[in-house]
Chains A and B, each alone.
Chain A
Amino acid sequence: MKYLEEFQNPELARRLLDEIRATATRPWALMEVCGGQTHTIIRHGIDQLLPDQVELIHGPGCPVCVTPLEVIDKALEIASRPDVIFCSFGDMLRVPGSDRDLFQVRGHGGDVRVVYSPLDALKIAQQNPDREVVFFGIGFETTAPPNAMTVHQARKLGIPNFSMLVSHVRVPPAIEAIMTSPSCRVQAFLAAGHVCSVMGMGEYPELADRFQVPIVVTGFEPLDILEGIRRTVRQLERGEHTVDNAYPRAVRSEGNPAAQAMLADVFEVTDRAWRGIGTIPASGWRLSERYRDFDAEYRFSVGGITTREPAACRSGEVLQGLIKPHECEAFGTTCTPRSPLGATMVSSEGACAAYYLYRRLGVTPTPQEASPVA
């Protein structure tokens, strides 16, 4: 068992697709929250293979798309300082701030480095004691425990030149915000599997009940996504709205208690502005007072930032599934992947970037492999 190829098996995928096709009798709109799931869907062409009745709305599950503009601008400010080594996950380098991005900061001489893990940034801090090392701590609940442990380590090992710019976001408040939006079309959710690996499933039954939506915890390989969709469509067809775990090999109902304990120690809940959506109360995490010494927002006074979002950008409406990307006037004209106005065009999982690729494909692809090539 290798846990990857088995869950990419094309024959089993076809069976799952047939099941979905047989089950769906009416149009349904599902939202997958996690950007990683959106990626799998686009990468494998899953949305092309689903029956027409099943519509996938790509949700705000990518930190690239939802990290508040103000935080991006703060990151850019800090990264521009000559004494700072700014470390970040690769995802964030092309996210547009009010007037530039981290790539351009690098172009102006800023020391911006891509790392795989926050621990790599800590290592860089140890190796460069005379420089300030700042790590850009973004992400959902999946990434929060690694970031929390890193700050915890920094304190334990006494690494004074390390700090973290934190902007974590939480999934359940996002679901709530989407469902309370007046023109919401979402009828069910594919919950983010790895978020639930950490947090467990306890936050979802109340949402499923309150909004009468099925919430199916879903994994990330093609078969996982299809299974999540299958179970969701079946609930919808039956008028059910419960929480279901379609990713039991990696998700336990209680989640990971050790990770949750660390989160409770290092972070505290805060209101968070979601780019394109607005402020969602209690939807984010910031460093707790205990760890204020390692909070980059306090270490570097980054005041006086005026954020400026291009007026034409309608990422927020796209993120909530209110409009489709091509319904935005700027789509494909002033806003393209090369010159994005908003984050949904920057991120490869962003709905706008995904649509941009496909709109040029005039031919509707058939599910069968039409090519005679072996």
Chain B
Amino acid sequence: MCLAVPGKVLDIEERDGTRMATVDFGGVVKEVCLEYVPDLKVGEYAIVHVGFALQRLDEESARHTLALFEELGLLQEEFGDPWEAAAAPEGWDGPGGTPPAVRNDGAREASR
């Protein structure tokens, strides 16, 4: 149920009152419905599942994740676990404060 692929928006138009985009998947071009990510702009990337954009892909977040992978094993001796240092509850800013089940190790929020 989860085969969704990243695609880049080439252009956007209204069709039958529905926001549609032409999306490029690395050389493969397909029509995609943008109704669920209406503020997606040309040049941005989204996760696309069965012809629908479901979420914008955050480039900065992606780079951050890859950078942390790169640091694995290299910084361990000097700075301890780079993950603890960099990432507090990632993506969680739940209603009314941090729920007890979500880890809060007191580390600073990852800069975005």
Contact = CB atoms under 8 A, between A and B. Distances in A.
A4 B26 contact: yes
A245 B64 CA distance: 13
B2 A19 contact: no
A69 interface: no
A206 to B, nearest CB: 7
Contact of A143 (B1, B59, B83): B1
Given A156-B17, A192-B2, A258-B38, A243 B92 contact: yes
A301 to B, nearest CB: 29
Contacts of B55: 197-198, 250-252, 256
B6 A19 contact: no
Contact of A241 (B1, B18, B65, B101): B101
Interface centre among A37, A192, A250 (most CB of B within 10 A): A250
Contacts of A7: 66
Nearest to B81: A234
Interface in B26-83: 26, 33, 35-38, 45, 47, 49-52, 54-55, 57-59, 61-66, 69-70, 72-73, 83
A348 to B, nearest CB: 12
B8 to A, nearest CB: 9
Given A194-B4, A197-B47, A249 B57 contact: yes
A201 interface: yes
Contacts of B33: 119, 146, 149
A246 B92 CA distance: 11
Interface string A217-245: 10010010001000100010000111111
A312 interface: no
A288 interface: no
A227 B69 contact: yes
Interface residues of A, number: 71
Contacts of A192: 1-2
A258 B65 CA distance: 26
B1 A118 contact: no
B1 A145 contact: no
B14 interface: no
Contact of B50 (A4, A34, A63, A118): A118
Interface stretch (A10-18, A45-53, A303-311, A321-329): A10-18
A220 to B, nearest CB: 6
Contact of B51 (A19, A120, A156, A245): A120
A166 interface: no
A235 B17 CA distance: 48
B94 interface: yes
Contact of B92 (A119, A193, A245): A245
Listed residue (A16, A202, A205, A206) with the most chain B CB atoms within 10 angstroms of its CB:
A205
Contacts of A120: 51
Interface centre among A18, A61, A197 (most CB of B within 10 A): A197
Contacts of A291: none
Contacts of A15: 69, 72-73
B109 to A, nearest CB: 12
A210 B40 CA distance: 38
B49 A143 contact: yes
Contacts of A235: 103
A209 B3 CA distance: 29
A248 B2 contact: no
Nearest to A215: B101
A208 interface: yes
Given A2-B26, A16-B72, A119-B33, A240 B103 contact: yes
A279 to B, nearest CB: 20
A140 B1 contact: yes
A156 B57 CA distance: 30
Given A202-B94, A244-B103, 15 more contacts: A9-B69, A37-B2, A119-B51, A142-B2, A143-B1, A153-B16, A194-B54, A205-B99, A241-B101, A242-B102, A245-B89, A248-B61, A248-B65, A249-B61, A259-B36
12 contacts: A3-B6, A34-B2, A36-B3, A146-B51, A194-B1, A202-B95, A205-B102, A206-B101, A245-B89, A245-B90, A248-B91, A253-B93
- The 9 A-B residue pairs with the shortest CB-CB distance in the complex, in nearest-first order: A117-B51, A36-B2, A3-B6, A140-B1, A205-B101, A245-B91, A242-B103, A197-B55, A249-B62
